[in-house]
Chains A and B, each alone.
Chain A
Amino acid sequence: MNDAKVHCAVEVVNVSKYFDDVAAVDQVNLKINKGEIFALLGGSGCGKTTLLRMLAGFEKPSQGDIKINGVSVLNSPPYQRPVNMMFQSYALFPHMTVEQNIAFGLKQDKLPAAQIVARVTEVLGLVQMEKFRSRKPAQLSGGQQQRVALARSLAKKPALLLLDEPMGALDKKLRMQMQLELANIIESVGVTCVMVTHDQEEAMTMADRIAIMDQGRIMQVGQPREIYEFPNSKLTAEFIGSINLFKAVVSGGELTCDELPGQVVAGEANAAFDGPCYVALRPEKIRLEAGRNLDAKNCAAGKVNDIAYLGSHNVIHVRLDVGAGQGKVVQVHVSNFARHATQTFDFEQSVVLSWDQDAVVLIKADQP
């Protein structure tokens, strides 16, 4: 009977937060499992930071409840919650050394001095910063400051670790390296973690599950793969990766798409509704060939409109031969398999696009 509770570290029950009658967070329900890294992903102003701040205790929900390990923390101030946060700016105390920064939280629990020193050494080892224990934050690089901030937020062994835009203050190269390292440290400690980010790559690299937020609401929750391959709305489809969307209608199980020539057939799992929808195709799931006859289904002809060489792959824009010469432009990713490319495309070259039935995702149009 308690099984569900044990697996669920954090429960957000119907939480809303209003600022001057505007809902920053709108009836959010979430269950976060023990030991998982959970990412709140969305653009600025989507409510992800407000939700994180409510978990930390810096904001009070206007309604709803937040439970940590089954206990409501609604009436606990931040200093009584078993929650620690790594701030976007790291918020390291500039007047304290690395060691003092990490010991700060432990001192509040009135632990014996020897125990504090031992724990500080332990977490410094975890983030490989033992050598820097007597430095001031200003004497550390951005990446080193981040390690100290992580060590500080792990020192008290919180039930929940919060990361606010963890890579926000790092440059791009360091970001990639730290994403994996951070995720490894957090996983090795086994702490439940909720992170906020606007960077889909960061969320997909680090998180076990992702919640996409927009206008205070959760649009979709799932593993990175689920969200990428099975987006449930136009918004999530467009937010994660790039995608080609074609307006279509389903009526009586029949799919009609005016923006694509020929018949479009979707995978069985998709077409269980009636009404306006989008046919969604990821650019890397479309085959691009020159000089080939059209098949009856899942196929379209067009002309190359634009080519961008990105090293790992080419992004090719193809204008479809649909309608009066002003067909939709479709994005196709062509992987650069060989160094001396055997097949290259030229501008205005006639090409044929084709895709597997399985690649087609149908997304219900939320608004007309």
Chain B
Amino acid sequence: MKGVFAHKFWVIVWPYIWMLVFFALPFGFILKISLAESMIAMPPYSDIWSWSDGRLTWLGSLDNYRFLLEDDLYYLAYFNSLRLAAVSTVLCLFIAYPMAYGISRMEEPYRSLFLLLVILPSWTSFLIRIYAWIGLLKTNGLVNHFFMSVGLVDEPLTMLHSDFAIYLGIVYGYLPFMILPIYANLMKLDHSLIEAGYDLGARPWKVFLTIILPLSMSGVVAGCFLVFIPAVGEFIIPELLGGPDTLMIGKVLWQEFFVNRDWPVASAIAVVMLTFLIVPIYFYRRLEMKQLGVGE
């Protein structure tokens, strides 16, 4: 028994070490900086405790968090980020589900081919791909050229530097992260369940709503998280495609860090953002546990 336990221990310990080194430790630094004060130094923040005369003195404060509450810039940025991320996640879902379903029902070799096509764009740098959209969307860009030559519009549309462009960018950039988990889930789906649905008299649409969709829900939820969470903190897309007045928390974070060089406020922003994201994950875990029948 002891041998088995030791074996288990060595399997489980690695993810924990990974989480400790690459998540908990950096987060601890950020948390520490968020409690410090900004100063012109190297590094540009004060210590949160000092050691003098054999006594440890606490110097940290929650001032930076208080500051976030006072300025409505941060409220707006958080709210805007959550809204943009939520809308793009829903858009992604509606586009990705039919694609994932279609691919999962394909015969080989088409299935592998289309799956490859989904992943293929990721082989180019994300930055370059988003940059390319500027060329497509700008006033004298390709899309406007096409619309005008077809006679769809008389004068070029303003598409770049708008919320529309941000939605487009996020949906375009994060679509594979929605498609892949849903696809993986649908591939696991026992086809005889679908046939049983038909056999019992359910029409195709009814089979989709009552059998396929509920059974692929965990893929949908995983995909939504994979899109929503990075989209909230997204910086490149609002920076390149958004307007100058687009407020997103990623952009604000960047400005605090690199323009204002106010590391403590930037860290506080990051900590608050993480808290926002942990809440839905916690509820998802609870739901997952319930579905698995744990605790029943």
Interface residue ranges, A against B (CB under 8 Å): 56-58, 77-80, 83-85, 87-89, 91-95, 104-105, 108-109, 136, 138-139, 152-153, 156
Contact = CB atoms under 8 A, between A and B. Distances in A.
Nearest to B202: A108
A153 B192 CA distance: 14
Given A95-B214, A105-B201, 5 more contacts: A84-B200, A105-B202, A108-B206, A109-B201, A152-B200
Contacts of A89: 190, 192
A79 B198 contact: yes
Nearest to B206: A108
B195 A93 contact: no
Given A89-B190, A95-B215, A156 B196 contact: no
8 contacts: A78-B195, A79-B202, A85-B195, A88-B192, A89-B192, A108-B201, A108-B206, A109-B201
Contacts, number: 63
Which 10 residue pairs of A and B lie closest in terms of their CB atoms, listed nearest first?
A: A105-B200, A108-B201, A91-B196, A91-B192, A78-B198, A79-B198, A87-B192, A79-B201, A85-B199, A95-B214
Nearest to B201: A108
Contacts of A95: 214-215
Contacts of A152: 200
Nearest to A53: B195
Q: Which secondary structure characterizes the binding site on chain B?
A: helix
What interface size band does chain B fall in?
Answer: 10 to 19
B211 interface: yes
Contacts of A80: 201
B8 interface: no
A109 to B, nearest CB: 6
B203 interface: yes
B137 to A, nearest CB: 43
A153 B203 CA distance: 17
Interface string B272-295: 000000000000000000000100
B202 A104 contact: yes
A93 B193 contact: yes
A156 B190 contact: no
A313 to B, nearest CB: 40
A108 B199 CA distance: 11
Contact of A58 (B195, B202, B210, B211): B195
Contact of B203 (A58, A79, A156): A79
Nearest to A136: B293
Interface string B228-263: 000000000000000000000000000000000000
